[in-house]
């Protein structure tokens, strides 16, 4: 039975070229980047080369790039430092952020007594910018706005330029969980001066367990892990050299092939929308995921006209991988906190599935998936 993977928003397959470069460095470039001998210097060069490449892609300084174990650690590093070292007294966010942000904010509120305010979101998962502006202008407390760039469940793209402008006008800091957007929606930090962004390599065909934070120069950042002085004193621990090299290779390929991949995957998404609307009457789409201009080109969140509790399970039996919502909640009985926040009571009772695509998917795969979905839902 042919396996079909439509859960690329959760994680992406490793690109073979990434595997090759990582294998090469694991075997031939095993030195500790902190060692002063030739082996260590060679490893250090690879780490710093990757840092320079990332800085160039996002139009920032290399010293602003901090390697981490992924997006969740990067979010924690930024948010904890904002409160403990940058004087943040209030965080403004939404109830549909990734749990790496929501749970961190909850911990900061509990342990440090900060104020937390959540913006309302409408039935499409959109914020009201006037509400954000009002909150920013009606408090004297030093504030940080934490809003994700691309929602990992419904694909909505936030107007980060508009948020950046509001934060700049009011003296607030702006953190964006950009994990789902990196490689899918371009960011130029000179044009859109966000204070903090994050990335995780496994979202763009790189390895798991490695990512980075970009922290605007001048902010005092203290490590959450204590030990050595790696990462310019912001993160103790020997750098994961081969994974950093893999991240660099994956990001380079993503950026070099962005236009081609964007066209190809967007075409797949349009085809999927057309086919499922034809073959499964009554389907609708959560958030803005079916809007090709306002959502990420790789995410589509489909709501079916009935409740089929075993839909994902039955698809899995057919060799088809998709998700009921956030990957962090796959298999959870709690359901999606994002859909719970934006859907009315009746719509929330219906089955929703997130299908997410990559350059490795095909229209032939879509045809088979739609056929299997139609058999399950229409019977």
Active site residues: 328
Helices and strands of the chain, counted as H and E runs: 12, 12
| Helices within the chain (DSSP H only) | 16-28, 38-58, 71-84, 99-112, 129-137, 160-170, 241-256, 258-279, 311-317, 337-342, 345-348, 363-377
Q: Is 62 helix (H, G, I), strand (E, B) or coil?
A: helix
Angle of helix 129-137 versus helix 160-170 axis, rounded to 10: 20
| Gyration radius of the chain's alpha carbons | 21
Beta strands across the sheet bearing 196-200: 65-68, 211-215, 196-200, 173-176, 143-146, 90-93, 115-118
Residue 196 is inside which H or E element, if any?
Answer: strand 196-200
């Amino acid at each position: 039975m042919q396996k079909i993977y439509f859960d690329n928003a959760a994680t992406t397959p490793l690109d073979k070229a990434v595997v090759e470069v990582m294998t090469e460095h694991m075997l031939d470039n095993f030195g500790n980047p902190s060692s002063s001998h030739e082996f260590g210097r060679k490893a250090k060069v690879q780490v710093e080369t990757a840092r320079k490449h990332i800085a160039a892609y996002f139009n920032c300084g290399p010293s602003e790039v901090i390697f981490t174990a992924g997006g969740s650690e990067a979010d924690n590093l930024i948010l904890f430092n904002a409160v403990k070292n940058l004087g943040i007294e209030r965080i403004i966010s939404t109830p549909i952020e990734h749990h790496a942000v929501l749970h961190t904010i909850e911990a900061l509120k509990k342990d440090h007594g900060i104020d937390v305010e959540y913006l309302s979101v409408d039935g499409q998962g959109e914020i009201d910018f006037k509400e954000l502006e009002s909150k920013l202008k009606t408090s004297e407390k030093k504030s940080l706005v934490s809003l994700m760039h691309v929602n990992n469940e419904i694909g909505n793209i936030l107007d980060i330029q508009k948020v950046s402008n509001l934060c700049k006008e009011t003296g607030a800091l702006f953190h964006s969980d950009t994990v789902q957007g990196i490689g899918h929606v371009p960011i130029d930090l000179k044009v859109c001066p966000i204070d903090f962004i994050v990335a995780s390599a496994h979202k763009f065909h790189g390895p798991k367990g490695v990512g980075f934070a970009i922290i605007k120069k001048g902010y005092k950042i203290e490590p959450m892990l204590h030990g050595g002085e790696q990462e310019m004193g912001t993160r103790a621990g020997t750098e994961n050299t081969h994974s950093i090299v893999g991240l660099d290779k994956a990001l380079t390929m993503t950026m070099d092939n962005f236009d081609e991949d964007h066209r190809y995957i967007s075409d797949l998404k349009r085809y999927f929308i057309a086919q499922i609307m034809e073959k499964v009457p009554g389907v609708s789409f959560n958030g803005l995921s079916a809007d090709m201009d306002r959502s990420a080109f790789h995410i589509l969140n489909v709501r079916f006209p009935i409740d089929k509790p075993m839909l994902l399970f039955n698809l899995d039996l057919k060799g088809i991988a998709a998700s009921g919502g956030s990957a962090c909640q796959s298999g959870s009985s709690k359901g999606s906190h994002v859909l719970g926040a934006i859907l009315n009571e009746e719509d929330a009772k219906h089955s929703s599935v997130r299908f997410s695509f990559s350059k490795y998917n095909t229209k032939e795969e879509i045809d088979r998936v739609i056929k299997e979905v139609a058999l399950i839902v229409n019977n």
